Amino acid sequence: MKQTYQQDLSEFSTRDIEFAAVMKKEGVSFREWRKEEGSFVFQASEKIEEIKRKHDNGELIADPDELVYLKALTVACRK
């Protein structure tokens, strides 16, 4: 029998560090870095879709400080 998994709708995750930095900059609540999945996890928000659209259109860019923070987080978790 195939096991099914329920998706947790209270969170949103991405492996894209640049998009994660944009979401942090736009105020989406960052929860954690999941080393096993290689993903950044955020509190689900209705504004994520709009942020994604604007990011894809080049209207929103990542904050360099947020990129450095997230990269440092991934490196620190490797140890």
pLDDT digits (tens, 9 = 90+) for 27-66: 999 999 999 889 999 999 999 999 999 999 999 999 999 9
69, part of any domain = yes
Full residue range of the structural domain in which residue 41 is found: 11-76
52, part of any domain = yes
Domain count across the chain: 1
Query: pTM to 2 decimals?
Result: 0.84
3, part of any domain = no
Can you spell out the DSSP letters for the chain? --------TTEEEES-HHHHHHHHHTT--EEEEETTTTEEEEE--TTHHHHHHHHHTTS----HHHHHHHHHHHHHTT-
25, part of any domain = yes
6, part of any domain = no
Report the distance separating Cα 20 and Cα 26, nearest Å: 10
